[in-house]
């Protein structure tokens, strides 16, 4: 029975975290994560979950790449050009 209550509390905490998740701090098309050194399209779910302190604004893919950031594998803001 105790486990049941722990599960309920966990669900409440997770729900609260989702509600508190704020839109990106910057209105640039791309948002970087200074902790993970990755960058995302601003509508990527990872951006919404990202701590505001870790957000870095990028106006272009080039700007992010030049700063040493890697593209997110989920929203794929950039893919390397294919060699033919
Ligand atoms: Zn992403």
pLDDT, tens only, 26-80: 999 999 999 999 999 999 999 988 999 999 999 999 999 999 999 999 999 999 8
The residues facing 57 across adjacent strands are 31
Q: Which residues, 6+ apart, have CB-to-CB distance to 67 below 8 Å? A: 32, 56, 58
C-alpha 4 to ligand 1 mean position (Å): 34
Whole-angstrom distance, CA of residue 18 vs CA of residue 81: 36
> Which residue has better confidence, 14 or 36?
36
Which residues are within 5 Å of ligand 1 (an ion), measured at CB? 40, 44, 46, 72, 74-75
The radius of gyration of the chain's CA atoms, rounded to the nearest angstrom, is 17
Say how many Å lie between the CA of residue 79 and the centre of ligand 1. Answer: 12
Q: What confidence score (pLDDT) does residue 83 get? A: 82
Q: How many CB atoms are located within 10 Å of the residue 6 CB?
A: 9
Is the torsion defined by CA of 33, 39, 44, 45 positive or negative? negative
């Amino acid at each position: 029975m105790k486990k049941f209550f722990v599960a309920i509390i966990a669900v409440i905490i997770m729900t609260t975290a989702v509600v508190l998740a704020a839109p990106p701090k910057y209105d640039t098309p791309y948002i970087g994560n200074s902790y993970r050194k990755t960058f995302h399209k601003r509508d990527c779910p990872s951006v919404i979950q990202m701590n505001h302190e870790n957000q870095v604004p990028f106006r272009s893919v080039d700007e992010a790449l030049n700063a040493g950031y890697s593209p997110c594998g989920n929203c794929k803001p950039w893919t390397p050009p294919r060699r033919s």
